[in-house]
Amino acid sequence: MLKVGLTGGIGAGKSEVSRLLASYGALVVDSDLIAREVVAPGTPGLAAVAAEFGPGVLLPDGSLDRPGLGGIVFADPDRLAALNAIVHPLVRQRSAELEAAAGPGDVVVHDVPLLAENGLAGLYDLVVVVDAADETRLDRLVRLRGMDPDQARARLAAQATRADRLAVADVVLDNEGPLERLEPQVRSLWQQLLVKGAS
């Protein structure tokens, strides 16, 4: 089994790379998706978040008010650390369960937004960073996701710097341009992963 850590700052295009790798046959363990699962209604994770942040972070249907919670934690590093202390252990546990189901010849891609921030590079055989300039990422967040510019800047500031991410990279995928330029890079990466996984 080849364990690949995939990361990139918000708006860099990591989700598209993850989707492409899954379409080629990678087993993708998506930390963002798991982070949503572990705080779904009725879970111990959601109960812990509500206990820490108060019932105001819950919607009337009992689910997590993600934008509301985001507004709290991305403006305050201490509150973000408190949220991470609840969610990250649950995500790690579930990720390990999914990885354990992989076969010996599988390429397992761990899609981890905060890989650099949490010092996780050593957990993987190879770290792939999807890279784009901060200005490009800010433009995508505002133009494509409809984010308020100040909120988008706060999200960017809450993550590792571009230099920090590049420092842990074994492979860098340049996603400065249109998506059509990204796909050939990902296909080439997949071929490299297959060779590396077989060796």
CATH for 85: 3.40.50.300
- Residues present in the chain in total: 199
Could you tell me if 16 and 92 lie in one domain?
no
* Residue 160, domain extent: 1-26+106-199
Could you tell me if 147 and 81 lie in one domain?
no
Write down the pTM of the prediction.
Answer: 0.83
Q: What kind and span of H or E run contains 27?
A: strand 27-30
How many Cα atoms occupy the beta-carbon half-sphere of 69 within 13 Å? 22
pLDDT at 15: 92
Per cent of the chain over pLDDT 70 is: 100
* AA letter at 98: L
Query: Is the pLDDT score of 197 beyond 90?
Result: no
Could you tell me if 75 and 119 lie in one domain?
no
Q: Is 22 helix (H, G, I), strand (E, B) or coil?
A: helix
Could you tell me if 100 and 144 lie in one domain?
no
Could you tell me if 74 and 154 lie in one domain?
no
Q: What digits encode the pLDDT tens for the residues 140-163?
A: 999 999 999 998 998 898 889 999
Could you tell me if 70 and 131 lie in one domain?
no
Could you tell me if 97 and 136 lie in one domain?
no
d(CA 53, CA 125): 37
Could you tell me if 85 and 160 lie in one domain?
no
Could you tell me if 120 and 85 lie in one domain?
no
pLDDT at 193: 96
